[in-house]
Structure 1
């Protein structure tokens, strides 16, 4: 079992402890480290030492190394890059646009980044090749195209239907994006990582030894990650909309309507930043699957009643 997975096996048993760990792993300053520093940190992290220096090496390895391949993650798709890269894209995507083109443009950038992040942080334990197949590339392109068009639907409806009614515009701009954002986030993870459900992922016994490939574990890993991503984007869409709706009723915002736009931008970025470690922590990185739900040929290996699997991110 990879040293990163061994760490998650012994740490982060509760949601709160995982949130604390992820708050450290999401430090953007970790992006400044070179690949050589990351590889050196990986070797130190696997040494079993507990000094402060090795704790910092463990943090760097966890935030920058793929737990299945052992390779350094692409810079833009490492967990610490999610907030600084996606925040402006999310804010721009949730803005009330005047036409369809800017809505499509920002959705294209956001959905492309989400697809790249989902693919880079998938479970790749059963893959024979390190390069994406033509089928996978077409699947990613199709996912991005569909999610881009679907994400711009509120603006498309407003423009094509010529909506002028304030309540209907409020529905399309503030209410519809909430379930839509959650659904598209769930869809993106489920389709980008569909290979894990079709071919399975590696499972481990209580000693950390690989015992086989399980489709049931792959389905569970993808489902949990998709739910966590839906919670991330659904909450990021819901809370700022609710906050703006409440503040618009106050005298201060009724007299100073120009305050609404900057508050909307700040609240979206703030909620996104708060929700990223929470969403990553909803399910363990090293998940468990019960013996009863495993394939028959793997049940004998589950001596403790369950096996472990890497959930991905």
Structure 2
């Protein structure tokens, strides 16, 4: 028997005109635990998702199974192409992956080698996320992706090193050196994301009416959307990357903190996660 009280499985379960509805929807599909779901279970979820969408789900299928399939499908498969995404590029991996890298950048900032290495790791992770979640209707060539990656990584490293050396020479307050990672991340975001989404800016995005019919293309929409993405990413990382250095500068000299230096990265990663 088909599931009673059918839902439109392609639409969010909550009202997207409200903040709470949007929050619940994205929390639903970006739960970090979804990153650990086996590929076999994800494939099965996709099959049930597609069958339910066509009204051909197996007899005895329950609504809870349908909703679980929806959650797994939307968390792991590209919305345009339907391809299984790389686990490290999925939104469900953003919290654990981003927290670990941010904690490492904040912990190891004192030497030029450490700054360069962790900025490279961070921008490689960002490039993977941007590529994984790219607009499939505006594909990038290998050359374009390479230029975007190299440019963002170079921008992050150059900004971080320049800021670090200026502070070392002129600043009297050592805490300023702890802000090197944030300055580099902010600068790189303005390079990485626009370059990774450059075709959307150059070619425009399809504009549809209320029935889904394409009525034209817009170049304003991608510019506005990408600008909002860049700004929001900087704002989201600001609390942890701006407040945590102040906290660590105050508590690191404490005797009990000196005894657990090995745990400092774990402490910073945990605090970043809470923020």
Residues of 2 paired with 1:23 and 1:274: CA distance? 15
Indicate how the Cα distance of structure 1 residues 191 and 25 shifts in structure 2: closer, same or farther if over 3 A, else same. Answer: same
Offset of residue 270 of structure 1: 3.9
**Are 1:146 and 2:155 an aligned pair?**
yes
How far off its partner does 1:158 sit?
Answer: 5.0
Give the superposition deviation at 1:52.
Answer: 0.6
Q: How many residues are aligned here?
A: 260
Counterpart of 1:109 in structure 2 is: 121
User: Does residue 73 in structure 1 map to residue 78 in structure 2?
Assistant: no
What residue in structure 2 maps to residue 208 of structure 1?
212
2 CA distance for matches of 1:25 and 1:93?
27
Q: 1:93 aligns with which of 86, 105, 109?
A: 105
User: Does the 8 Å CA contact 1:64/1:72 hold for their aligned counterparts?
Assistant: yes
8 Å Cα contact 1:239-1:271 kept in structure 2 = no
Q: Is the 8 A contact 2:206 2:215 kept in 1?
A: yes
Runs of 5+ unmatched residues, structure 2: 1-7, 56-61
Q: Does 1:52 align with 2:64?
A: yes
Unpaired runs of at least 5, structure 1: 276-313
Shift of 1:19: 2.5
Q: Are the structure 2 counterparts of residues 135 and 121 from structure 1 closer, same or farther at C-alpha, using a change threshold of 3 Å?
A: same
Distance 1:261 1:139, change over 3 A: same
Instruction: Confirm or deny: 8 A CA contact 1:83 1:272 kept in the other structure.
Output: no
Matches of 2:229 and 2:26, distance apart in 1: 15
- Indicate the residue corresponding to 2:59 in structure 1: none
Alignment counterpart, residue 31 of structure 1, candidates 35, 42, 57: 35
Deviation at 1:16, TM superposition (A): 2.7
Whether the 8 Å CA contact 1:154–1:177 is kept in 2: the answer is no
- Report whether the alignment pairs 1:64 with 2:76: yes
Distance 1:215 1:268, change over 3 A: farther
The two structures have a TM-score, normalised by structure 1, of 0.69
Alpha-carbon displacement from aligned partner over 1:161-199 (angstroms, at most 9, x marks no partner):
3x6x7x43212324x544543333343212222221111
Residue pair 1:123, 1:201 contacting (<8 A) in 2 also: no
Indicate which of 148, 165, 173 corresponds to 1:168.
173
Change (3 A) 1:75 1:105: same
Instruction: Say yes or no: does 1:124 pair with 2:136.
Output: yes
Please report how far the alpha carbon of residue 96 of structure 1 lies from its aligned counterpart in structure 2 after TM superposition: 4.8
Whose relative contact order is higher, 1 or 2, with alpha carbons under 8 Å and at least 6 apart? 1
Distance 2:186 2:155 in 1: 15
Q: What is the RMSD computed on CA atoms of the aligned residues?
A: 3.2
Give the Cα–Cα distance (whole angstroms) in 2 for the partners of residues 271 and 13 of structure 1. 31
- What SS does the corresponding residue of 1:213 show, helix, strand or coil? strand
Question: How far, CA to CA, are the matches of 1:35 and 1:243 in structure 2?
Answer: 41
Distance 1:125 1:157 in 2: 43
Quote the Cα distance in structure 2 between the aligned partners of 1:111 and 1:178. 13
Residue 223 (structure 2) pairs with residue 219 (structure 1): yes
Q: Secondary structure at the match of 2:48?
A: helix
Change (3 A) 1:121 1:203: same
